[in-house]
Structure 1
Amino acid sequence: MNGRFSKMQGLGNDFVVIDARDAPLAMTTARARAIADRHSGIGCDQLILIEPSDVADVRMRIFNADGGEVEACGNATRCVPLFLGRDVRIETAGGLLEARLTDGGATVDMGQPRFDWDAIPLAYAMDTRDMPVGWDHLDHPAAVNVGNPHVVFFQPGMTMDDAARIGPVIETDPLFPARVNVNFAEVERADRIRLIVWERGVGLTRACGTGACATAVAAIRRGLARGPVTIVLPGGDLVIDWSPGASIRMSGPAAHVFDGTADWTRF
């Protein structure tokens, strides 16, 4: 069963994008993990399936490199209008999203963030603006659901090595029954935040669009920043704008890398 795919990336966060609107492709955890493998597969951070939708222009399904299906991916969402060549309304497991082409990328309406403890979800009730919990020297994070679950630490001086050590511990902590994306943020100015992300099911990543959204929202909610906020990631910058009660708007680059053909029965 041969099929075409496109390799795309946003700030170095890379994707295998498969158009399954006319030729459905059954996707399992094992198949997604095999395609994402950088040594024996095509290689990517996330596998993206574009499928028909009854409520939007297309449905986007997202599989992390470990094969697990997840609700949202901001960088992948910016790639969808570029892949289709037009502005698009996208159905995701995390909700309906609007993505509009811009020069060199896209702007995405990511919907409204959720803050209730059981919407994150957390294992038990607590204040998600300033959580009374900690790991090592990291404490009092914020939690935000932006289509998928995030915890945000405001901690200056964190390195990639630090994030690689503590990230998987926090991701799999029983406090987070669906696991969690872990963000390590340093507020440089009210309109600029430096960010490292340990992504659930992926690990350290050069960029995470939903992490940038969650971090900006958490910082604005605490009075540490004001929108629009430039989020500086290892792969480049994203601009996030949000005010309480409004939807999150994320703007940033996306690029087509190459096209290919694969025999999906080999995965």
Structure 2
Amino acid sequence: MRIEFTKMHGLGNDFIVLDARERALPPIDSAAASALADRHTGIGCDQLILLEPSSEGDFRMRIFNADGSEVEACGNATRAVGLLHGQPARIETLGGLLHASPSDSGISVEMGKPRFDWDRIPLAYAMDTHSMPVGWDELTDPIAVNVGNPHVIFFVADPYAVEMDRLGPLIETDPLFPERINVNVAAVTARDAMTLRVWERGAGLTRACGTGACATAIGAMKRGLVDRRVTVTLPGGPLVIEWREDGEIVMTGPATESFRGSFDPADYGMPAGGTKV
């Protein structure tokens, strides 16, 4: 039994998508996900995406980072599977039920409502998440937001001047963040424009992060730095983030299918049986 996959990306944030909605697949664990994600000995990706049947939505999406850890949400992956599905969809995730729809600008995703309470981020102890009294070198005074997964955002003059290779993993694994954290550094360039770089929890420095763009835009809106609709430009390209009056975050941007293929599950330590996860 060979397993078919679709390789996709959203602004360069790339995924291996496995579809178990109608055909049972061997169990996917953290070791198999990490092996498949390896760019030298596997297929290579930032995240492995597993699609399954759902009793809550049209299908369920599970998300494994390149290190094998399973996470709650991924905005770019949601756009990618929305493109793959080809029509409006309700997508069950660990971070909640998301709605993806084709649009003139790509795929629009209703990402849910942001959470700001310290124990919903979560943090290790109570503090004001709007202006956190913590810092790492030049990165100080962050804001924390949960948009299905946890983010901390720093506003700086030049995101590309920040040593993200060094500070990203340091902040990600700080004891303040018991479930680790996604690290965002952003510059506001206009009332409707921002520049962003993201160190993604479990994946490292990434070309694009949809939830990071959402969290950063919401953080800037909370501080009154931008309007309620803003273009966030990442290294891979722009995403449009809107915070509607009903509290829902809407992210719009492109997604692309790169290629399709198949692999032998035994090559990645997976059993050959068809037991569903």
> When the two structures are superposed, what TM-score results if normalisation uses the length of structure 2?
0.94
SS at 2:217 equivalent: helix
- The answer on whether the counterparts of 2:111 and 2:250 sit within 8 Å (CA) in structure 1 is yes
CA contact (8 A) 1:13 1:75 kept: yes
More moved, 104-113 vs 66-75 = 104-113
Contact 1:46 1:62 in 2 (8 A): yes
What is the number of equivalent residue pairs in this alignment? 267
**Deviation at residue 123 of structure 1 after TM alignment:** 0.3
1:6 aligns with 2:3: no
Cα distance in structure 1, aligned partners of 2:264 and 2:37: 14
CA distance change for structure 1 residues 161 and 225 in 2, over 3 Å: closer, same or farther?
A: closer
Alignment-derived partner of residue 21 in structure 2: 21
Cα distance in 2 between the residues matched to 1:192 and 1:161: 19
Q: CA deviation at 1:157?
A: 1.7
Find out whether 1:208 has 2:209 as its counterpart. yes
Aligned pairs for 1:74-223 (under 5 A) are 74-103=75-104, 105-159=106-160, 162-223=163-224
Cross-structure match for 2:252: 251
Asked whether the equivalents of residues 159 and 195 of structure 2 are also in contact (C-alpha less than 8 Å), the reply is no
Q: Is the 8 A contact 1:104 1:254 kept in 2?
A: no
* Shift in Å, 1:129: 0.8
When structure 1 is superposed on structure 2, of 151-160 and 182-191 the one drifting more is 151-160
Deviation for aligned residue 1:105: 2.1
Identify the residue that residue 71 of structure 2 maps to in structure 1.
70
Does the CA-based 8 Å contact 2:244-2:250 persist in structure 1? Answer: no
Separation in 1, partners of 2:43, 2:211? 24
**Aligned equivalents of 2:39, 2:126: Cα separation in 1:** 40
Deviation at 1:137, TM superposition (A): 1.4
Between the aligned partners of 1:13 and 1:215, the Cα distance in structure 2 is: 17
- Look up the equivalent residue of 1:11 and give its one-letter code: L
Shift of 1:159: 1.9
Which residue identity lines up with residue 4 of structure 2 in the other structure?
R
CA RMSD in angstroms comes to 1.1
Structure 1 distance, partners of 2:197, 2:205, is: 8
CA drift at 1:22: 2.1
Q: Tell me, which stretches of 5 or more residues in structure 2 are unaligned?
A: 269-277
Task: Quote the Cα distance in structure 2 between the aligned partners of 1:156 and 1:142.
Answer: 16
Q: Is there any run of 5+ residues in structure 1 with no aligned partner, and where?
A: none
Which digits, 9 at most, give the CA deviation of each residue in 1:129-163, with x for residues without a partner?
11111111111100000000000000112327611
Match of 2:263, SS? strand
Give aligned-pair identity as a percent: 62
The C-alpha deviation readout for 1:138-190, integer Å capped at 9, x for no partner, is 11100000000000000112327611111100000000000000000001111
Once the two structures are TM-superposed, the CA of residue 244 in structure 1 deviates from its matched residue by: 6.2
> Aligned-pair distance for 1:23?
2.4
- 2: CA distance, partners of 1:68 / 1:81: 23
Q: Secondary structure at the match of 1:159?
A: helix
- Pairwise CA distance, 1:245: 5.1
Contact 2:46/2:66, CA 8 A, preserved across alignment: yes
How far 1:265 sits from its partner (Å)?
2.1
User: Quick one: distance in 2 between partners of 1:265 and 1:101?
Assistant: 36
Q: CA deviation at 1:104?
A: 5.7
CA deviation vs aligned residue, 1:66-112 (integer Å, no higher than 9, x gap):
01000000000001121112111000000000000124620000000
In the alignment, which residue of structure 1 is the partner of 2:273?
A: none
Counterpart-to-counterpart distance in 2, 1:161 and 1:132: 20
Structure 2: distance between partners of 1:205 and 1:80: 19
Greater shift after overlay, 161-170 or 47-56?
Answer: 161-170
Q: 1:242 and 1:168 mapped to 2: Cα distance? A: 29
Do 1:104 and 1:255's aligned partners in 2 also have CA atoms closer than 8 Å? Answer: no
